[in-house]
Structure 1
Amino acid sequence: MEIWIGCRGVFCLKLDYRRGRISPLCLSTCICASNIVSCSKMNLTTVPTGLPLYTAVLDLSYNHVSRLRAEWTTVKLIKLHNLLLSHNGLHFLSSEAFVYIKHMRYLDLSSNNLRQLDEFIFEPLGQLEVLLLYNNRISQIDRSAFQGLHSLQKLYLSQNMISRFPLELVKDKTRLEKLSLMDISSNRIKVPPIEELQVLPAWIKNGLYFHNNPLICDCSLYSLLAHWHILRLNSALDFKDEYSCYLPGPQKSRVGVFDLNRDYMNCSTFYEADEEAWLEQTLILRCDTKHRDLFKTWVMPGDVVVTEGLNQTAKVLPDGSLQIGPVKPDDSGTYTCYAVSEALNETIYVLLKVHNFTEKGHGENLNTAYTTLVGCVTSVVLVFIYLYLTPCRCFCCPKNNHQDSFHSSMLSHEDLANNTDPRHVAFIDPKELGQNGKVNPSDMEGDQGEMDEEGGLLGKGRRKKSVAESISLVFSDTPIVV
């Protein structure tokens, strides 16, 4: 039992019947108000001894406590849940500094001179929810420094000298399970792990701040933040104008990341991509909300609510995602996810397009087209080989077969008998062509040439061909020699 017995100046006295005495700390050094002990701005160089066991909040800010040793408290403060040590010039943390305060929920180590975080330094603080480390000089963080912080929800690491993005804190299987806010703005990060950040749940990205870093301009960086902005994530909306980057080149000009699609680098404007699926495929649509632990309901195209127990191709998974399969053409359309809680609500729209063939069939169509193209190319090559690489069949043959080789040519046997030059090519005047381009055998108009004594045509004349002869000429397989 405790009872106040009076105050002297700014110091109040408290009678502790469990110990039978007044806490001397409240008489001389600190201000006690119920379970709050405030020792702020007392020019302390060490943590005062004799802290009451009932202390729940201990404020040691704005002092000169440069080292937090293991023996700063020799008793277990099982009720202490808030410890404030900001603005102390603190540069050393013992690996056993938090052994006796395992029930801490709020720890403020901001605005000090800490340079590194050693392995397992915070491991005893399994119930810690908020950790403030901003405005220090931290440049090295051991990958196991935050191990054991199973209840940590908010981590502030801004205004330090960190150059490596602590991806292990937010990545699946290694991340802190309850972490919903991590601020690493105003550090020295140049290239964030963009591909890994893209696949994070929206509720993690909503509280992931990395503005005011010396980022290197890249279109993938623009696409990442533009996507976050479309999703209305706080990390992109609240600090949109503070996301900047350095253009490649000797001048290292600094520009806004959201200007990379207009004035600089000509990055493609980002649009939310729709979902695509093949027939008979099973796919999962995500209800990627900005907040955790929301109750999710799905509505299919046609305002059909997905209900458990009904014979539907879609069902809601335990994590709130929607599984559809096997997919049918009728499954195309807009799917709506309603996520609600007592204080929050979100609506997510997903547009699904189902192709009218299976994924395997699509591949077979591509293979068939490729095979057809190869066949056409091969045919053209063979035609050229036949036309230009066929051995000579006229002047290289015996003389007695020479006339036979011209049987289907455009020269008549009469031309050969009259010693007409066998290399002369007979051209047909377009006027002599009848219907469908055929030679009219009855049309004798035109230049007949000069007649010799026996009624034959001279070499300069032209001879009409019959329809039958014209057909034989077209399908002749003997090359015409000019």
Structure 2
Amino acid sequence: MNLTMIPSDMPIYTAVLDISFNEIDGLRAQWTKYKLPKLHNFLVSHNGLTFISSDAFIYVRQLRYLDLSSNKLRRLDELTFDPLVHLEVLLLYNNHISQIDRTAFTGCSSLQKLYLSQNQVSRFPLELVKDKNRLDKLSLLDLSSNRIKVLPIQDLQALPAYVKNGLYFHNNTLICDCELYSLMAHWNIRRLNSALDFKDEHTCVHSGPDKRVLRLYELNIHLNCSTFKETDRETYLQQRLILDCDTRHRNVSKTWMLPGNVIVAPGNNQSAVVLPDGNLEIKSIQPEDSGVYTCFAVGDFLNETLYVVVKVYNFTINGNGDTLNTAYTTLVGCLASVVLVLIYLYLTPCRCFCCPDKSKNHNEDSIHSSMLSVTPTHEDLATKAELNRHVAFIDPKDLQGQNGKVNPNGEEGLDEEAMQGKGKRKKSLADSISSVFSDTPIVV
């Protein structure tokens, strides 16, 4: 009807008001003069809306369905929809929205479906599905065809499956990486609707200079991402373990089956107990608790079976630390031994001339004052004492000659060469025990 304003004299019994395809540029605070307690459907799509007053909905608090799609809205201010505590479906797609205040939907405690596709949103509104401002009943959040480049992957992966099942973000400008591929591969294995629906439209932009658009499910080929595989639950002896029955829908009845096809029944004496939220608690877990646990979820419109593989290590959580400490102690002991050996081999003892007993005659024939050398030398023993380092102290009664034979006279034989004109000199014991204790290492 080419309306530029909403008629202000609507009947009080109005239940559905459709003013779409007109020329209304804004929802003002006084668009209705009195309360419309019966109004539950309000359609204002395909108008020229550019703003919404913070008091636009104070007289229509019973709304359950609100269509503001295909307009020219650019931002959603704080507490915009705060009065709509009964609102279940909100359509805001095909606008120019680029800014969403974190408190814009705080009052919409009953909101189940929120459509924000075909806008200019560049930040994923994580507060809608996480933390204190989250919408507990939200089952569908459509953020497709926007300008989101990065997703909070770790936070999204931690969400319940019934929330992830309704998170749509295809046709965005996501940057390709293996974490994104792993996220969607996991959702695809779980058969989540957000991964299966519009599967061909899940794309991302390659970070290279060419900015190629790639199919998200083919990143394992283009980026050499590893194939996703479900991880097992790992625990230790006597630990408390809780297994999630992470179903795709709310309000389903859950039944657990233990390894060996044993049903967990209420009131039994089993160590496994089904908690009120449907998760399975295992107290003081034991090695025989390892295996595959099965959760059967049955609802009005969905039957789902989940499998959880549990591995129990055969030691307590502190046992591994004790083993590590023992290994560390052994390593330190080995290093200390190596250091002591090096000190023994390479540190020089005190030379003979610095020994307390320097008054002894260095020219004595006793082996107590002889310097041990690798090769024979023609120098006298006094000169040897200055040049060589190691001193051998051997008891006289154990004294042996060459080749281990006892020298009966306590004197060494004369060298034949010395007998021929060069004077007497002591015969070197090159083949005796002196050749072992020397400065030069012996390589065997």
Match of 2:87 among 128, 135, 140: 128
1:375–1:68 distance in 2 versus 1, CA, 3 Å: same
Q: Secondary structure at the match of 2:338?
A: helix
1:332 counterpart residue number: 290
Aligned residue runs from structure 1 range 143-182, under 5 A: 143-182=102-141
Does 2:236 correspond to 1:278? yes
1:305 counterpart residue number: 263
Aligned residue runs from structure 1 range 333-348, under 5 A: 333-348=291-306
Match of 1:293 among 222, 241, 251: 251
2:21 counterpart residue number: 62
**What is the TM-score with the length of structure 2 in the denominator?**
0.81
Q: Which amino acid aligns with 1:134?
A: Y
Between the aligned residues of both structures, percent identity stands at 61
1:57–1:382 distance in 2 versus 1, CA, 3 Å: same
Q: Secondary structure at the match of 2:220?
A: coil
Match of 1:381 among 336, 339, 355: 339
**Greater strand fraction, Structure 1 or Structure 2:** 1
Q: Secondary structure at the match of 1:255?
A: strand
2:374 touches 2:430 (CA, 8 Å); kept in 1?
Answer: no
Q: Which amino acid aligns with 2:185?
A: A
1:279 touches 1:326 (CA, 8 Å); kept in 2?
Answer: yes
1:91 counterpart residue number: 50
After TM superposition, the structure 1 stretch with the greater mean CA deviation from structure 2, 306-315 or 154-163, is 306-315
Structure 2 gaps of 5+ residues are: 382-386, 389-403, 405-414, 420-426
1:481–1:211 distance in 2 versus 1, CA, 3 Å: same
Deviation per CA, 1:411-461: give whole Å up to 9, x if none. 99xxx99xxxx99xxxxxxxxxxxxxxxxx9xxxxxxxxx9799xxxx999
Aligned residue runs from structure 1 range 413-428, under 5 A: none
Q: Shift of residue 285 of structure 1?
A: 0.7
1:149–1:406 distance in 2 versus 1, CA, 3 Å: farther
2:375 touches 2:430 (CA, 8 Å); kept in 1?
Answer: no
Q: Shift of residue 343 of structure 1?
A: 2.5
Q: Shift of residue 462 of structure 1?
A: 9.6
1:394 touches 1:402 (CA, 8 Å); kept in 2?
Answer: no
Q: Shift of residue 410 of structure 1?
A: 9.2
2:77 touches 2:101 (CA, 8 Å); kept in 1?
Answer: yes
Q: Shift of residue 243 of structure 1?
A: 2.2
1:60 touches 1:85 (CA, 8 Å); kept in 2?
Answer: yes
Q: Which amino acid aligns with 1:50?
A: D
CA distance in 2, matches of 1:402, 1:246: 91
Match of 1:193 among 152, 160, 168: 152
Deviation per CA, 1:273-300: give whole Å up to 9, x if none. 1000011111111111111111111111
2:117 touches 2:144 (CA, 8 Å); kept in 1?
Answer: yes
Q: Secondary structure at the match of 2:339?
A: helix
Match of 2:327 among 369, 384, 387: 369
CA distance in 1, matches of 2:430, 2:76: 104
1:279 touches 1:357 (CA, 8 Å); kept in 2?
Answer: yes
1:48–1:358 distance in 2 versus 1, CA, 3 Å: same
CA distance in 2, matches of 1:479, 1:307: 82
CA distance in 1, matches of 2:374, 2:429: 14
Structure possessing the higher relative contact order (Cα contacts under 8 Å, 6 or more residues apart) = 2
**What is the TM-score with the length of structure 1 in the denominator?**
0.75
Q: Which amino acid aligns with 2:61?
A: K
Q: Shift of residue 378 of structure 1?
A: 2.1
1:308–1:404 distance in 2 versus 1, CA, 3 Å: farther
Q: Shift of residue 257 of structure 1?
A: 2.4
| Alignment length (residue pairs) | 400
CA distance in 2, matches of 1:200, 1:81: 31
CA distance in 2, matches of 1:406, 1:256: 87
Q: Which amino acid aligns with 2:134?
A: R
Match of 2:175 among 205, 213, 216: 216
Structure 1 gaps of 5+ residues are: 1-41, 424-440, 442-450
